[in-house]
Chain A
Amino acid sequence: MASALEQMLIEAEARYLKPDELRQLKSYVLGWPKRKHVYQVLRERESQIVSRTLNTLKQEMPSLSGQVLELCQRHLLLLLRHSAMAMLLQDEELLKERLIEWVEEEVQLYGLQSVYEIAYRIFQQELREHLAPGELEFIRPLITQVQVALLF
């Protein structure tokens, strides 16, 4: 499925872009340097953010099995990578198709809801510590969107 931007360009096939469409395109282009910057920050800090989240989670829930921790690690990496890509390309649909549909099934299958309520709280805290407020606002709505889809 095409992203909102792609869809707009498809619809404008043989005509000029309308003023609001042009505005949308402009904001996409103007926002690119900042989004690319946040994307690179996330790529660099991924290991730290995820390891620290898992370590804190282990302290708060010492009885978690190795299998659950491994799943959690895999899910956090997927969360960060897909959210980063969705942010970079401004394509939220990508989150749903590539991440939420997959992870929500595993969360149900392994009964991870209560673990993830805590894991996401820690993860959000870690993000706040690794990103400046101006960077955080780019990625946080996407993370929260996944959190809401998985936990409510």
Chain B
Amino acid sequence: MVTSASSPSVSFDPYTPVLANYYTPSAYLQGDLESGLLQSRHGERLLALPEALLRGIYSGLEYETGQAARLVLRNCGRMWGKEFFRRFAQELSDYYQKPLAELEMGIFLQNLKQAWKTHGWGLIEIDWTYKDQGVLVVSIRNSPFAALTPAHFKRPMGFLEAGLLGAWFSQLTGQDLLCVQTTSEALGAKSNLFVVSSAARLKDGEAWVDSGLSHDQVLEKLLQPNQAG
């Protein structure tokens, strides 16, 4: 950590790094050509997902399990989210030398955005407008998961991301949260929007989307006082 700015004669050690973007792509992603392995700067193994594999997962799951594909994707997303949160918390607390809970909000959010970007999952923004009512809105642009959704789906299919976000925010807050996708780039929307709230309040969320409710309508339903609980 650099010393306080208030003293007139502070000196900075030129060999002590100034902590900033842990997820800088060129520093974070490390590969070994010889072994063909990718790993993070923290030494965790990383997996590159070819587009064909992602497409195959969507269509294979639909073929094998039909409607249950959503559930499978969501559960995979939840496991992934739990694991990703563990890694994120570990990496940042090691780097900044303090527990995640003590990181400044700005640093935390910046790293979250950068982590998304560097992993190639798109540009994530979190809208805290409704946080006092227990609802977060997450927007992801340029999502590869939306870009590779088979064209015949007529509703948002980002169950993997929804599972990931739900589990991630559950781990962060220690509450049982669910996440439902309300708009998708695959259906022509400007971004993929997700709402995150308590599992009890969002239990019918997917049914609302199935019945054709827009993002604003889902949000409105979620923010109605009788939905609280």
Contacts and interface: CB of A to CB of B under 8 A. Distances in A.
Interface of A: 1, 43, 46-47, 50-51, 54-55, 66, 69-70, 72-74, 77-78, 81, 94, 97-98, 101-103, 105-106, 109-110
The 8 closest A-B pairs by CB, nearest first: A47-B11, A69-B5, A102-B21, A73-B5, A77-B18, A43-B14, A47-B12, A109-B106
A74 B1 CA distance: 9
B12 A50 contact: yes
Given A77-B2, A98-B21, A109-B110, A51 B8 contact: yes
What is the predominant secondary structure among interface residues of chain B facing chain A? Answer: loop
A67 to B, nearest CB: 9
Nearest to A71: B106
Most chain A CB inside 10 Å of its own CB: which residue of B9, B20, B109, B114: B20
B26 interface: yes
A109 B109 contact: yes
Interface in B1-31: 2, 4-6, 8-12, 14, 18, 20-21, 24-27
Contacts of A103: 20
A51 B10 contact: yes
Interface of B: 2, 4-6, 8-12, 14, 18, 20-21, 24-27, 106, 109-110, 113-114
A147 to B, nearest CB: 18
Contact of A70 (B4, B8, B20): B4
B5 A66 contact: yes
Contacts of B113: 105
A70 B110 contact: no
Contact of B26 (A74, A81, A97): A97
16 contacts: A47-B10, A51-B9, A51-B10, A66-B5, A70-B4, A74-B20, A78-B20, A81-B18, A97-B26, A98-B24, A101-B114, A102-B20, A102-B110, A106-B106, A109-B106, A110-B106
Contacts of B8: 51, 55
Nearest to A72: B5
Nearest to B104: A67
B108 to A, nearest CB: 11
A74 B106 contact: no
Given A73-B2, A77-B18, A102 B114 contact: yes
A73 B106 CA distance: 16
Contacts of B4: 66, 70
B5 A101 contact: no
